Amino acid sequence: MSNPPSAPPSAPPRTPPSTPPSIAPSIAIVDANNFYVSCERIFNPRLEGKPVVVLSNNDGCVVARSQEAKALNIDMAVPWHSIAAEATQQGVIARSSNYELYGDLSARTVELLGRYTSSQEVYSIDESFIRLTGTAREVTATAREIRTAVKKLIGLPVSVGIATSKTLAKLANRGSKTAAALNGVCNLAAYSPEQLTAIFRSIEVGEVWGIGARTAQKLIALGIYTAADLRDADAVRVRRRFGVVQERVVQELRGFDCLPLEELRADKEQIQFSRSFSIPISTVPELREVLSVYTQRAAARLREQGSLARLMRAYASTSPFKEDHVTHAVSLAFPDPTDDPVEMYRAAIAALGPQLQSDRQYVRVGVSLHEFSARESHATLDIFGTDPAPFAAGAVLDAVTAKYGAETLGLGLGGLRSNRGWTMRRDLVSPRATTHWNELATVHAR
């Protein structure tokens, strides 16, 4: 095990050699730069070059920052109300989280990336792993083409890291963002073993993908300070001390692909819809309305993945920072697995309703669905044909909202009502320019 270097490690090369060697199939990670801020800038070019931050639910904390905001030393997760006055004086522009816009632009990017590969894993809202084949030069050229296409067709700036494993691709992606000479694309296959060692020595072990802060401290105690130290560590010893997951990190740093792409995204094992309110709710009718909206949205997500749920949990909670804090929670099983929003709402109200109290200030309500099975596995055949077919409320809702928008139609208390007082506060939200007709961007020709 090596000791910590007494001087900063040698800087990694800024540009790759001129004649890259041939390589095996590569893994690339395509990562949108400052994703939330970049989404905001697409339909508001005036934000380019300005310090911009995006806020969390109810305009609470900073969850995304432009490079200009980072240069002003604005920290992640800092409460906006605590810095708003000073930040505004510095020219910082704040935006509420525009989940509809971000989700749609992410989906468009995923579809575009699928044109360049047959193997793709959507890792997060702003990151995808894809598999590319060819020589280092060919793969790098494809990555540059992808970068150009995403910027031109969607408007998002992306960086691409390429290597023979996911862990190395993440390290390469780091380089693609920090070395301007690489122009947003870093292919580790273009570097010699000596150059790679120099790069790895410049990266602290805690910055390696898959190594958490606690594990990093334990590794440092063993004399493993850098990515190079971890790559060269005894894999058997690492497995005995930390388990098979960390051993895979060691092997991935050596270039072995131990984490294959999850090309087919498995259905979620849990669907949850939960939000904090902009103002507390103290009336039972409003709580019933919240449950109606949330069960409908959870059921819609369930139908989207073609599943039925056997178990549902629902809860309502007051503020945990107050002395009389209380949480009412229930779990209930359906007689038969279902995706029917009417059945779910009635069950939630019957189980949770009697516990709700009008003299309390509720700040959060949640609904979650569990124990899924495929919808087609529960198809039944009515031999005698005596029972009329049940009204498929969920299917009707899906058809209407798919054509006219998510807020077009709802059931009962969760139906056609806008400006609910309890909805999440987003005072600084930008237009949902790609998902709502009445918020489309206006283009002016000169």
Q: Say what the pLDDT of residue 444 is.
A: 77
Closest C-alpha among 305, 314, 374 to residue 346: 314
Which residue reads 């890792």 in tokens? 123
The C-alpha atoms of residue 230 and residue 232 are separated, in whole angstroms, by: 5
- Cα torsion angle, 244, 247, 251, 252, sign: positive
223 forms bridges with which residues in the sheet? none
Q: Are 143 and 132 in contact (CB under 8 A)?
A: yes
Q: Are 436 and 418 in contact (CB under 8 A)?
A: no
The C-alpha atoms of residue 331 and residue 346 are separated, in whole angstroms, by: 14
The C-alpha atoms of residue 135 and residue 410 are separated, in whole angstroms, by: 53
- Measured CA to CA in angstroms, residue 3 lies from 58, 129, 191, 220, 287 at distances of 47, 34, 25, 10, 59
| Complete domains list, the chain, with CATH | 25-182 (3.30.70.270), 192-254 (1.10.150.20), 271-377+392-404 (3.30.1490.100)
The first and second tokens of residue 239, run together, are 């497995």
Residue 134, by phi and psi: left (phi above 0), alpha (psi -120 to 50) or beta? left
Which residue reads 């790609």 in tokens? 434
124 forms bridges with which residues in the sheet? 127
28 forms bridges with which residues in the sheet? 130, 162
What SS3 string covers the chain? CCCCCCCCCCCCCCCCCCCCCCCCCEEEEEEECCHHHHHHHHCCHHHCCCCEEEECHHHCEEEEECHHHHHCCCCCCCEHHHHHHHHHHCCCEEEECCHHHHHHHHHHHHHHHCCCCCCEEEEECCEEEEEECCCHHHHHHHHHHHHHHHHHHCCCCEEEEEECCHHHHHHHHHHHHHCHHHCCEEEHHHCCHHHHHHHHHCCEHHHCCCCCHHHHHHHHHCCCCEHHHHHCCCHHHHHHHHCHHHHHHHHHHCCCCCCCCCCCCCCCCCEEEEEEEEEEECCHHHHHHHHHHHHHHHHHHHHHCCEEEEEEEEEEEECCCCCCCCEEEEEEEEEEEECCHHHHHHHHHHHHHHHCCCCCCEEEEEEEEEEEEEHHHHCCCCCCCCCCCCCCHHHHHHHHHHHHCCCCCCCHHHCCCCCCCCCCCCCCCCCCCCCCHHHCCCCCCC
Q: What is the mean pLDDT of each run of 10 residues along the chain (446 residues)?
A: 39 43 74 96 94 88 94 93 94 91 90 92 89 92 97 97 96 92 94 95 94 92 96 94 92 92 61 76 83 87 87 87 84 87 88 86 87 70 49 70 64 56 72 83 79
- Find the radius of gyration of the CA atoms of the chain: 26
Q: Are 388 and 327 in contact (CB under 8 A)?
A: no
Q: Say what the pLDDT of residue 331 is.
A: 87
The first and second tokens of residue 111, run together, are 């579809």
Q: Say what the pLDDT of residue 95 is.
A: 95
Q: Say what the pLDDT of residue 378 is.
A: 54
Phi, psi of 154 (to 5 degrees): -115, -35
Q: Say what the pLDDT of residue 1 is.
A: 41
Q: What distance, in Å, lies between the first and last C-alpha atoms of the chain? A: 65
Q: Are 113 and 128 in contact (CB under 8 A)?
A: yes
